[in-house]
Amino acid sequence: MRDAFVDTLTELAGEDERVCALTGDLGLDLFDAFQLRAPGRFVNVGIAEQTLVGVAAGLALAGKVPFAYSIIPFVTSRPHDQIRVDVAMTGAPVKIVGVGAGYAYGSAGPTHHAIEDLALMRAVPGMTVLTPADPREAAAATRAALATPGPVYLRLGKNGEAAVVPPDVPYEPGVARWISRGGDVTLASIGTALPIAIEAAGQLGERGVRAGVLHFPSLRPFDTLAVLDALAAAPAVVTVEEHNRDGGFGSAVAEAMAESGLPGRLARVGMPDRHCGQVGSREYLMAHVGADAAGVRAAATALLERTRMRRAA
């Protein structure tokens, strides 16, 4: 996804003179082509994330469209005050690009894990939060970030992800897409968690459970209607995200369900409300905290069981 992002950004730099790229000294060789395409419009501000966002805000207030790149916690948590004040309060069209959703930097340890960013960024007024699922969507989301007025946060995985969204499904912020339909339970996933939901749906299918998969390509705008649509299809929803279960996507779905007044039950799968305390790859850590396909399957099975028990009572 990282390469898809930077390749697209380099194309955009050729098409639109306002586009600039900034990094906080991360991304070895990543911006070489960009620098050739757009000399003078790339700056490595050094290991200084507050300045990364502040400089981006200055460029944006002067009419540029800067993309500020770093690893997610370093570009969302560390300079959050600059995001609030310099970017959001002025409406500056800064595009904040974070790489390493969830445990993507697994073995690097908890400083590099991104489990708070969705909560942080969706609470910022006026912030668009884009959550592509695969490289093709990352490219489309990069274009969408430029096309979207005002501040945008673009949440990427890492690199080398497989294509998961069917090529005929367009990327459109605010429009959730059914990847597959199922009448028993809906697995609603956000961004890079989509492959987990698809795998879990397959496992559930093998056990006779018809699980639909609903992909959210953005957290803001949030597709509330899609949640209602899911409840109409099946009154059981499992959210799947590479983020703390609290405050992110699962919370957004819970809010939409509660405010809809429609009957339905919810289980949220994601990172537990603690730092994982283990060393390992993304896959290892996701399994460890029960946020892999088996964990989603188990959550869906338990949810359906509770629903059946309630009906029987």
Partner 1 sequence: MSPEATPAPTSVEQAERMRELILEMAIRARSAHIGSSLSIADILAVLYFDVLRRDRPRPDRFLLSKGHAASALYAALALAGDLDEDAVVSGYCADGGRLAGHPERSVPGVEITAGSLGHGPAVAVGLALADRIDGSDRHTFCLVGDGELNEGSVWEAVALAAQLELGSMTLVVDANGLQGLGSVDDIVTLEPLADRFTSFGWWVADVPGHDHAALAAALSIRDRRPVCVIARTVKGYGVDFMEDDFRWHYQSLRETDRERAFCALRRTRRVA
Told to check if 37 binds partner 1 by CB under 8 A, we report: no
Told to check if 64 binds partner 1 by CB under 8 A, we report: yes
Told to check if 43 binds partner 1 by CB under 8 A, we report: yes
Of the residues 28, 29, 40, 208, which one makes contact with partner 1 according to CB under 8 A: 40
Q: Which letter does DSSP use for residue 107 in this model?
A: G
Of the residues 66, 151, 191, 195, which one makes contact with partner 1 according to CB under 8 A: 66
Question: What backbone torsions phi and psi does residue 102 show, to the nearest 5 degrees?
Answer: 60, -125
The answer to whether 173 touches 217, Cβ cutoff 8 Å, is yes
Binding mask 281-310 for partner 1 (x = CB under 8 A): ------------------------------
- Measured from the CB atom, is 68 or 238 closer to partner 1? 68
Residue 65 Cβ vs partner 1, minimum distance, rounded to whole Å: 11
Measured between alpha carbons, how far is 162 from 166 in angstroms, rounded to an integer? 11
Count of CA atoms in the C-beta half-sphere (13 A) of 212: 23
Residue 47 Cβ vs partner 1, minimum distance, rounded to whole Å: 9
Residue 30 Cβ vs partner 1, minimum distance, rounded to whole Å: 20
Interior/surface letters 130-167, b for 16+ CB within 10 angstroms, e for the rest: bbbbbbbbbbbbbebbbebebbbbbbbbbeebeebbee
Stretch that binds partner 1, among 76-84, 168-176, 182-190, 290-298 (CB under 8 A): 76-84
Nearest alpha carbon to residue 132 among 52, 215, 55: 215
Told to check if 45 binds partner 1 by CB under 8 A, we report: yes
Told to check if 146 binds partner 1 by CB under 8 A, we report: no
- Beta pairing partners, 244: 271
Of the residues 55, 139, 194, 198, which one makes contact with partner 1 according to CB under 8 A: 55
The answer to whether 178 touches 214, Cβ cutoff 8 Å, is yes
Question: What backbone torsions phi and psi does residue 180 show, to the nearest 5 degrees?
Answer: -155, 155
Told to check if 20 binds partner 1 by CB under 8 A, we report: yes
Residue 64 Cβ vs partner 1, minimum distance, rounded to whole Å: 5
